[in-house]
Structure 1
Amino acid sequence: MTVRQWMASDPVVVDPTVEVHEARATMQRNGIRHLPVVRDGVLIGIVSDRDVRIDAGSLEACGSIEGVKDVSGHGREVSSVMATSVHHIGPDASVGDAARVMMSRHISAVPVVEDGRLVGIITTTDCLLAALTADPDLGSGAGSRAP
């Protein structure tokens, strides 16, 4: 099985100049946890839901309206929080290769790049679904425990 068969094609992306709060809203609106950052179709970074989250501790520590704006991502570009060392994979690689990249790098999504352009994204969930499809025994006990 290849990455091409399981990746999300034409992924939702964001420009590096978009403000952090807008990226967070895009992720929430689309029900996604990873947002590739592209410029002119070329992958330059990736943002995860953890990169754009607002937690209670951050809000408590901000102490002012200006601090709240900073924590919420108003006036701050995605380029300031994105990971720039992005591990990617080609669409013709195996799903197993994608899973190994994610496991070795402790990440849960890998952008898919072909001819220098972003063409998709594959996640740990996609890899699990591929494994369940490939091996019916994996799916037969889903949701149940052996006695």
Structure 2
Amino acid sequence: MEMETKVTVHDAMTSNVVTVDHKLSIADAALLMTRMKVGSLIVKTKAGPEGVITESDIIRKVVSKNIAASDITIGQVMTKNLINIDPGSELNEAARLMAKNNIRRLPVVKDGSLVGILTSSDVMAVSPELTEILVVNARIQENQVGFPTDERPFPGACELCGNFMEYLDEIDGKFVCEECKEDLEGD
């Protein structure tokens, strides 16, 4: 009999989270994201995580409105009332929570303290079988936002070769890596 091991949030999360103060300007936040090669920053106070600012927040709430990034603070555009998860929770529970709430990043909190961050990329890298939960959600979310799904690449396991990639494109209803996309289009 095979013993099933449960993969926890702790197994997949990134523990070195980049945190910032809510008074930081959006310009400085964008510079920090670029320098640290991250897509989000957690806004933290002594009490714990209080918000998150993502690349898409900056584009949707600042750049698209032609607001000078140096004139606005993270606190003015961050997402508050964070949904978070315990590091001991099962990974499939985290994937469902992300899908249900249309989020791609979950702060990991233990006893009120931020201990890590779990992204949809982390989930898919550790448990490719959970990709379907996130892929279906991404398709729904992108259609709701009004972007054609073929214009919004996102991370996951290629549905043809199975390799995990940072960017997948949708071709004929399948999410595929660049190499498989070229093979399909080359036919």
- Specify the TM-score bucket, using the shorter chain as the normaliser: 0.7 to 0.9
More contact order relative to length (CA 8 Å, sep ≥ 6): 1
Structure 1 spans left out of the alignment, 5+ residues: 60-70
> What corresponds to 1:65 in structure 2?
none
Q: Secondary structure at the match of 2:127?
A: helix
AA aligned opposite 1:58: K
Normalised by the length of structure 1, the TM-score is 0.79
Count residues with an aligned counterpart. Answer: 131
Residue 71 of structure 2 corresponds to residue 58 of structure 1: no
Contact 1:17–1:77 (CA under 8 A) maintained in structure 2: yes
Q: Note the alpha carbon deviations across 1:41-64, whole angstroms, 9 max, x for none.
A: 610111111112354x534xxxxx
Contact 1:36–1:45 (CA under 8 A) maintained in structure 2: yes
Contact 1:89–1:113 (CA under 8 A) maintained in structure 2: yes
Q: For 2:108 and 2:25, how far apart are their aligned partners in 1? A: 24
Q: Note the alpha carbon deviations across 1:88-110, whole angstroms, 9 max, x for none.
A: 00000011111111100001010
Q: Note the alpha carbon deviations across 1:62-113, whole angstroms, 9 max, x for none.
A: xxxxxxxxx1321322110011121000000011111111100001010000
Residue 121 of structure 2 corresponds to residue 114 of structure 1: no
Residue 98 of structure 2 corresponds to residue 102 of structure 1: yes
Q: Secondary structure at the match of 1:26?
A: helix
Residue 13 of structure 2 corresponds to residue 17 of structure 1: no
* CA deviation after TM superposition for structure 1 residue 133, in Å: 8.5
Q: Secondary structure at the match of 1:9?
A: coil
> What corresponds to 2:36 in structure 1?
30
Q: For 2:52 and 2:103, how far apart are their aligned partners in 1? A: 11
State the percentage of identical aligned residues: 26
> What corresponds to 2:161 in structure 1?
141
> What corresponds to 2:55 in structure 1?
49
Tell which deviates more after alignment, 30-39 or 107-116. 30-39
Aligned-residue RMSD, C-alpha: 2.4
Normalised by the length of structure 2, the TM-score is 0.63
Distance 1:119-1:18 versus aligned 2 partners, 3 A rule: same
* CA deviation after TM superposition for structure 1 residue 10, in Å: 2.3
Q: Secondary structure at the match of 1:74?
A: helix
* CA deviation after TM superposition for structure 1 residue 27, in Å: 1.1
Q: For 1:127 and 1:25, how far apart are their aligned partners in 2? A: 26
Q: For 1:84 and 1:44, how far apart are their aligned partners in 2? A: 6
